[in-house]
Amino acid sequence: MTRRIVALGGGGMGGEANERMHRYLLDLTGRDHPRVLYIPTATGDDPDMIVAFYRWFPADRTRRRHLTLFHRDIQDLADFVLDHDLIYVAGGNTANMLAVWRVQGMDTILREAWERGIVLAGGSAGAICWFEAGITDSFGPTLAPLHDGLGFLEGSNCPHFDSEPQRRPTYLRCVSDGFPPGLAADDLAGLHFEGTELSEVVTAREGAQAYRVERAGGEAIEVPLEARFLG
């Protein structure tokens, strides 16, 4: 099985650009009517976000379900989660999401899903979580490093690189200070991994980019990555 993760820099559920990205994710499953699971833990299982998911992932092409963990009504999580072709993780509070996942055993289940070839995807918190580390606003209004991601992918991740003014300087400063180097993505840019290697960068919005952020001579440097526009 090909292990696939698509880490999105951010965006949302609605609009033409998001629809482009959703089609890309659905196509990766290789199925005509893929089974899609939405996990909104990072939002605190916000019902409005769940409604948005059902609105923007087309009913005529997918079989859609969601999983709430704050009001859990699924007994066998592994059996439920692994019965899907695409798992889409919401943005929100990354640190709180990871804590809940670990208490519920979702970290182990998601690794098994990955190993089985189920496509894992998500934006913002839904992107950071797959890496070893990331830049997050989980701990308050000031951005801060997070060191305990799931670690499926090496290094760090920074979403919203072009849309939130403090993301870029915070990430560069952290990497300069010894934070694990990694990848940054603008909103509506996707980092597609096959196994643990970056396969391609795709964008659903013209001008969106992704970068490899490395440390050289004690300073962080950005290396733009070639991207394929989905429009």
Residue 176 catalytic? no
Q: Which entry of 124, 138, 156, 192 is annotated as an active-site residue?
A: 124
Query: Would you call 124 a catalytic residue per the annotation?
Result: yes
State the Cα–Cα distance between residues 88 and 50, nearest whole angstrom.
11
Query: Which tokens in the block code for residue 130?
Result: 């797959």
Q: For residue 90, what is the DSSP state?
A: P
Angle, CA of 186, 26 and 46, to the nearest 5°: 65
Closest CA to 98 of 66, 133, 50, 144: 133
Marked catalytic residue, from 22, 66, 84, 160 = 160
Sign of CA dihedral 10, 17, 202, 121: positive
Say how many C-beta atoms besides its own lie within 10 A of residue 16's C-beta: 9
Catalytic residue numbers, as ranges: 124, 160
